[in-house]
Structure 1
Amino acid sequence: MNNVIEKLKEIDIGEVGIAIYSTKENKEHTSLNSNLTIPLASAAKVAIAFCVAKWVEAGLLNWGAIVEEVSFNPEEDSKELYPHLQNRQTLPLREAVEVMIACHDSYIARSIVEFCGGWEKVNESIQSYYPSIYVTENPRAVDNKARLNEMLDMMIHIYLGYKTHPLLWTPIINGLVRQKGDIKQIPAHHLNHMTGGLENAAIDIGIMGDFNDNPYIFALGAINLPNRLKLNNQVPDGKIIEAMELLYGEYLEQ
């Protein structure tokens, strides 16, 4: 894993962190600045979905419950991924959670949170498990943040939960599998993840490798980067992609 870490260290403007868990060894494999607090952007939707799944597990909600007054963010890709849902005003909770993750859809996220009792209630539940995680309606808000190591632990919880109770965790896993965020050198079915990005920050959390053959679970984030929207500031993003490709190479060799 040293080559992954060394590649990330080549990002000389800003701060970067990564935490990697090996499902083969059942332990954290490698980390760099895993206590780094990062803006979540769209990745906050995984935390919202985690909260919903825990309420379903406790019997407080049902995946078949109907979320009303649903609308889709036209700036996201639900028209391509879920064309058959576009004229729906209601969705079962399980479908709403899947679409929220797969399409990074903040409109669906708002509908889910309102259905669940509001942002304060959702945050109170999330923070009972992960005190550093706080989610907001506006994914670009500065308060929408978490520590990398807690996001990694959440992803481990979701993955292991699916292995033992798949019906409970399927809506989240379906969303991670369907969302688009491909890296050319990694087969799409070997990268089930959730990305998030702002002008000066990036995050990627997910499952790398064959889902049923000892994948890695990872959380990667970078902050205080040069404006990523400018073409001449793409070097950090390139380094992150190279590090992800190196990580996939490590997976293939394990």
Structure 2
Amino acid sequence: MQNVLNVLRNLPEGEYGLLVFSQLKQEMIQSINPDLEIPLASAAKLAIAFCVVKFIEEGRYTWNEKVSPMRFDPREDSQELYPHFQQRSSLLLREAVEMMIACHDRFVAQCVVNVVGGWEVVNATLQKYYPTIHVNDDPRDGQNKGQLSEVFELFQTIMRGYTETPELWVPIINGLVRQQDKIEALPAHIINQMTGGLNHAVINIGVIGEFSKHPFLFALGARNLPNRATNTDADESIQEALQLLYDAYASQETLLIN
């Protein structure tokens, strides 16, 4: 784990935070700058999906609600991941939430939010649980943000919910597994993460390791970075840190087997 921190400390400039939870030990094994406030960008869609599940738990909606009309963002990859949805004028709520996560699609997110009452309703529910998290219709808006520790807690709640009542949380997990933000040096099934990025900030939230073999849960955020459009140093450092985080997970599994 020290290798991970060494890489992050060598970021060219800016601030970073990292939280790592071991499913095997059932404890936080790393917590650096948990109070860091970070822009969420596309990662805000996890928060929207969390609210949808809460509404379903309360009986306000079901996963079979009709989401209509549908609109897909042509800049995202829904044509590649969901070619069979492209001509549909409506989706079921479960399909729309999965697609929103998998494709980081802001237009689909807006359609989902419209069905469940609008942004004020979503934020009011969200902030009952996580007061620092705020989401809106523009992923690039600076008010689309949250404290890293609360973003991690939200994700941990999703993962715990999937373990306890998978039928309720599975659309979120399906989207997480299907999305394309992979790390080149790692097998695709080893890292399942939701990412958000702006020119000067980035956040990665997800699972590293095999779902069935005590994976790590993590949240890594950095802000005030050099412009990522022209300087890739921070992105390369974060990818290296995630590779090293996988090495730490693999070492844990090796010790467990032995």
Whole-angstrom CA distance in 2 between matches of 1:59 and 1:23: 31
Confirm whether residue 16 of structure 1 aligns to residue 16 of structure 2.
yes
Residue 187 of structure 1, CA deviation: 1.1
2:83 maps to amino acid: P
Counterpart for residue 153 of structure 1: 153
Matches within 5 A, 1:14-163: 14-163=14-163
Whole-angstrom CA distance in 2 between matches of 1:217 and 1:252: 14
Whole-angstrom CA distance in 1 between matches of 2:207 and 2:59: 27
Whole-angstrom CA distance in 2 between matches of 1:190 and 1:92: 29
Counterpart for residue 248 of structure 2: 250
Whole-angstrom CA distance in 1 between matches of 2:167 and 2:101: 17
1:225 maps to amino acid: L
Residue 89 of structure 1, CA deviation: 1.0
1:235 maps to amino acid: D
Residue 32 of structure 1, CA deviation: 1.1
Q: Is the 8 A contact 2:102 2:180 kept in 1?
A: yes
Q: Is the 8 A contact 2:12 2:226 kept in 1?
A: no
Whole-angstrom CA distance in 1 between matches of 2:129 and 2:23: 21
1:235 pairs, out of 233, 236, 250, with 233
Structure 1 segments, 4+ long, off by >6 Å, are: none
Whole-angstrom CA distance in 1 between matches of 2:250 and 2:119: 41
Residue 42 of structure 1, CA deviation: 0.1
Whole-angstrom CA distance in 2 between matches of 1:52 and 1:126: 10
1:129 maps to amino acid: Y
Deviations 1:56-92 (A, max 9, x none): 1221110001011111000000000000000111000
Residue 12 of structure 1, CA deviation: 3.5
Matches within 5 A, 1:134-213: 134-213=134-213
Q: Is the 8 A contact 2:40 2:144 kept in 1?
A: yes
Percent of aligned pairs sharing the same letter: 50
1:164 maps to amino acid: E
Deviations 1:97-130 (A, max 9, x none): 0000000000000011111101001000000000
Residue 241 of structure 1, CA deviation: 0.6
Whole-angstrom CA distance in 1 between matches of 2:219 and 2:119: 24
Residue 45 of structure 1, CA deviation: 0.2
- CA root-mean-square deviation: 0.7
Whole-angstrom CA distance in 1 between matches of 2:58 and 2:149: 25
Deviations 1:119-151 (A, max 9, x none): 001000000000010001000001000011111
Residue 237 of structure 1, CA deviation: 1.0
TM-score (norm 1): 0.98
Q: Is the 8 A contact 2:208 2:217 kept in 1?
A: yes
Structure 2: runs of 5 or more not aligned: 253-258
Report SS of the residue matched to 2:229.
Answer: coil
Whole-angstrom CA distance in 2 between matches of 1:134 and 1:89: 29
Structure 1: runs of 5 or more not aligned: none
Between Structure 1 and Structure 2, how many residues are aligned?
A: 252
Whole-angstrom CA distance in 2 between matches of 1:86 and 1:168: 25
Residue 159 of structure 1, CA deviation: 0.7
